[in-house]
Structure 1
Amino acid sequence: MQNITAEELKQRIDNGEQLNIVDVREPHERAEFNIGGTHIPLGQIQTMQIDEIDGLQEQEVIVYCRSGNRSGQACMILETMGFTNVKNLTGGMLNWQDKIK
C-alpha cells in the first residue's frame, strides 16, 4: 500500500485525470462531505462485496475515509484480494478539509 496526500489527489482531480476513488465511510459520513468516487463502506469490503470495483485489480485505486484508518484497512484487504496498486489518502477527509481550501 502506498499513500497519497490531499494535495496530490486534489491536483490530479483538478487536472481531469480519470481516477478510481473509493470512499469507505458510512453513508451518513459521505452525506456530510465527500470528494466523489465509488461508495463502498468498509464492512462491504471486509465481506468482499465489491462488485463496483471488480476488474480494477491491475489499476490504481485510491481509498479514503474520515481519518485514514479505515481506508488503510481497506487497502490491506484489497491487496489480499489481488489489487496491486492501492493508495490510501493520508489523513482522510479531516486532512482534506484542513489542507484544501
Structure 2
Amino acid sequence: MHWNIKEIDARELAEWYDSKAEGFRVIDVREMNEISGGTVPGADPLPMATVPVRFNELEKDKDLVVVCRSGARSAQVCMYLQQQGFERVYNLRGGMLAWTSSGQQIALPRAV
C-alpha cells in the first residue's frame, strides 16, 4: 500500500501557531540529546524508537506535525502513524534544518 505523506513547510507551521492555536500538536521524534539543543516551540519530545509504544498518547482528532532533523525520520513516523489510523499527520518538510534556516525561533524542549 502506498502512503501519501502530507507535508508542511516551516512558514506554514509558523502560520499555524498564529491561526490554529490549540488545533494541532507538534512532536519531535529526534533523540533526547538532539532535542536538548532546541526544538520547535511547544513541541513534545517523542523519540522515534518510543513511538510504537507511546502512539496511544497522541490524539487522532488533532492535526499532528512530526519533526526531526531533516524530515526523513519524521516521514517514517508519519507513515507508521497512518498505518495506525491517524489521518491528520504532517511531516515538517526539511525538519529542524529547514525550521532554523527559515529564521524561525527554537525553544527548549518540554519535559518528557
Taking structure 2 as the reference length, the TM-score comes to 0.79
Which of residues 24, 38, 47 in structure 1 aligns to 2:44? Answer: 38
Gaps (5+ residues) in structure 1? Answer: none
**Partner Cα separation in structure 2 for residue 34 and residue 26 of structure 1:** 11
Contact 1:26 1:41 (8 Å CA) reproduced = yes
Contact 2:55 2:81 (8 Å CA) reproduced = no
RMSD: 1.5
Task: Tell me the alpha carbon deviations over residues 41-94 of structure 1, each in whole angstroms, 9 at most, x when there is no partner.
Answer: 10011x3322431xx123211110000000000000000011011000000000
**Secondary structure at 1:76 match in 2:** helix
2:67 is aligned to: 64
Which of residues 4, 8, 13 in structure 1 aligns to 2:12? Answer: 8
**Secondary structure at 2:53 match in 1:** coil
1:13-24 to structure 2, matched below 5 A, reads 13-15=17-19, 17-18=21-22, 19-24=24-29
Gaps (5+ residues) in structure 2? Answer: 105-112
Contact 2:6 2:90 (8 Å CA) reproduced = yes
Which of residues 48, 51, 54 in structure 1 aligns to 2:53? Answer: 48
Q: Percent identity at matched positions?
A: 35
Structure 1 ranges of 4+ moved more than 3 A: none
Taking structure 1 as the reference length, the TM-score comes to 0.87
**Partner Cα separation in structure 2 for residue 75 and residue 68 of structure 1:** 10
**Partner Cα separation in structure 2 for residue 79 and residue 69 of structure 1:** 16
Residues paired across the two proteins, number: 98
